[in-house]
Structure 1
Amino acid sequence: MSSLTSSTFSTESPFSHKHHNTKHYLSKFRKIGSQSPPNLQIKLIEPILYFQGNPEESLGCFMRGELIMNLTKPTKIKRIEMNFFGRMKTYWPQCKIYYGSHTNRNELCEEREIIKHNWIFLSSPTASSSLHTSHSLNSPPEYHLLSAGVYTYPFELFLPGTLPETIQAQLGNVVYKLHATVIKPGFSTNLRTSQHVTIVRTLSEETNSQGIAISRDWLNLINYEITIPNKAYSIGDSIDIDLKTSPQVKRVRVLGLRIELNEQSIYRSRGQKNIESKILSTYRINELDSDGDNERDNDLILDDIFYHKNFIFPLPKCSNCVHISCKWPSITISHSLKFHINVKIPVNSKKTGNFINKFKKEVIEIDVPITLLSCSCVENLPQYDESWINLDQGYSRDLPPSYETSIADKRRTINLSNLNHFSESIVNTTINNNRRHTLH
Structure 2
Amino acid sequence: MDKLRSNAKFKIHVENENLIMYGVSSESAGCVLRGVVNLQLQETTKIKSIGLSLAGRMTVSWTEGVGNGHDRLFREEKAVLDHQWTFLPKQQKLHVLGAGSYTYAFELVLPGDLPESTYVPNIYTVQYQLKATIERSTFLPNICNRKIVHISRQLLPFAPEFLEPVSVANQWANKLDYEITLPSKIYTHGDQIPITVRITPLSDALRVRHLSCTFKEYMVCRSGNQGFLNTRARAHGRVLFSTRDDKFGRTNSNDGGHFVEWTKVQMIPLSNSLLDLQCDIQNDSIRIKHKIKFVLSLINSDGHVSELRAALPITICAVNKTGLPAYEEAWRSLPYNPASMLALLYQQSSVLPSYNSIAPSTLAPAADQRHNLPPTYDEIPWLVSN
- Return the TM-score normalized by structure 1: 0.57
Q: 1:379-418: per-residue Cα shift (whole Å, max 9, x none)?
A: 9x9xx9xx9xxxxxxxxxxxxxxxxxxxxxxxxxxxxxxx
CA distance 1:58–1:313, shift in 2 (3 Å): farther
Contact 1:43/1:65, CA 8 A, preserved across alignment? yes
1:326 and 2:278 are equivalent in the alignment: no
Moved more, 48-57 or 114-123: 48-57
Corresponding position of 1:341: 296
The aligned residue for residue 78 of structure 2 is 112
Structure 2 CA distance for aligned equivalents of residues 47 and 280 of structure 1: 24
3-state SS in 2 of match to 1:108: strand
Amino acid at match of 2:35: G
Q: How does 1:68-87 map to 2 (within 5 A)?
A: 68-87=38-57
Q: Which residue of 2 aligns with 1:178?
A: 130
* Contact 2:62/2:75, CA 8 A, preserved across alignment: yes
- Residues 220, 235 of structure 2: 8 Å contact kept: yes
Cα distance per residue 1:124-146 (max 9 Å; x no partner): 34xxxxxxxxxxxxxxx444444
Distance 1:178 1:142 in 2: 27
Task: Tell whether the 8 Å contact from 1:254 to 1:300 is kept in structure 2 after alignment.
Answer: no
Change in Cα spacing, 1:323 to 1:364, as seen in structure 2 (3 Å) is same
In the TM superposition, residue 118 of structure 1 has moved relative to its aligned partner by: 1.2
Q: Is 1:285 aligned to 2:285, yes or no?
A: no
- Cα distance in 2 for residues equivalent to 1:316 and 1:299: 36
Residues 265 and 275 in structure 1, CA contact (< 8 A), matched pair in contact too:
yes
Bigger radius of gyration among the two: 1
- Of residues 181, 190, 214, the one that matches 2:142 is 190
Contact 2:204 2:252 in 1 (8 A): no
Which of 16, 26, 46 pairs up with 1:46? Answer: 16
The secondary structure found in structure 2 opposite 1:208 is helix
User: Do the aligned residues in 2 keep the contact of 1:69 with 1:150 (CA within 8 Å)?
Assistant: yes
Question: Is residue 168 of structure 1 aligned with residue 119 of structure 2?
Answer: yes
Which runs of 5 or more structure 1 residues have no equivalent in the other structure? 1-35, 96-103, 126-140, 289-294, 347-357, 388-419, 425-440
Q: 1:155 aligns with which of 70, 86, 106?
A: 106
Structure 1 residue 275: Cα displacement = 2.3
Amino acid at match of 2:118: I
Amino acid at match of 1:273: A
Aligned partners of 2:233, 2:336: CA distance in 1, in Å?
Answer: 51
Larger fraction in strand: 2
User: Residue 242 of structure 1 is aligned with which of 190, 196, 201?
Assistant: 196
Cα distance, 1:252 vs structure 2: 7.2
Which secondary structure does the structure 2 equivalent of 1:165 belong to?
A: coil
Contact 1:211/1:229 (CA < 8 Å) preserved in 2? Answer: yes
Q: CA deviation at 1:65?
A: 0.7
The whole-number CA distance in structure 2 between the counterparts of 1:78 and 1:43 is 22
Contact kept in structure 2, 1:231 and 1:370, CA below 8 Å: yes
**AA in 2 matched with 1:334:** K
Superimposed CA distance per residue, residues 72-101 of structure 1 (whole angstroms, 9 cap, x where no aligned partner): 444444433211011121221589xxxxxx
Distance 1:421 1:342, change over 3 A: closer
Match of 2:234 among 251, 265, 274: 274
Measured at CA, do residues 162 and 246 of structure 1 come closer, stay the same or move farther in structure 2, by a change above 3 Å? Answer: farther
Contact 2:252 / 2:260 at 8 angstroms: preserved in 1?
no
CA distance in 1, matches of 2:186, 2:8: 41
The count of corresponding residues between Structure 1 and Structure 2 is: 308
In structure 2, the residue matched to 1:21 is: none
Q: Which residue in the other structure is 2:311 paired with?
A: 367
Alpha-carbon distance, 1:201 to partner:
4.6
User: Larger % of helix: which?
Assistant: 1
User: What is the TM-score when the length of structure 2 is the normalising length?
Assistant: 0.64
Classify 1:317/1:195 alpha carbon distance in 2 versus 1 (closer, same or farther; 3 Å). Answer: closer
Q: 2:61 — aligned with what?
A: 91
Structure 2 residue runs of 5 or longer lacking an equivalent are 1-5, 66-70, 224-228, 328-333, 339-386
What is the root-mean-square deviation in Å for CA atoms of aligned residues?
Answer: 4.3
**Which has the larger displacement, 215-224 or 259-268?**
215-224
CA contact (8 A) 1:261 1:337 kept: yes
- AA paired with 2:148? H
How far apart are the structure 2 equivalents of 1:327 and 1:238?
A: 24
Whether 2:19 is the aligned partner of 1:67: answer no
- For residue 231 of structure 1, the aligned residue among 179, 185, 202 is 185
- CA distance in structure 2 between the aligned counterparts of 1:422 and 1:341, rounded to whole angstroms: 55
Distance in structure 1 (CA, Å) of the matches to 2:13 and 2:83: 17
Residues in 2 aligned to 1:42 and 1:155: alpha-carbon distance in whole angstroms: 10
- How far residue 176 of structure 1 moved from its aligned partner, in angstroms, is 1.0
CA 1:283–1:113 in structure 2 vs 1: closer, same or farther (change >3 Å)?
A: same
Contact 2:207 2:252 in 1 (8 A): no
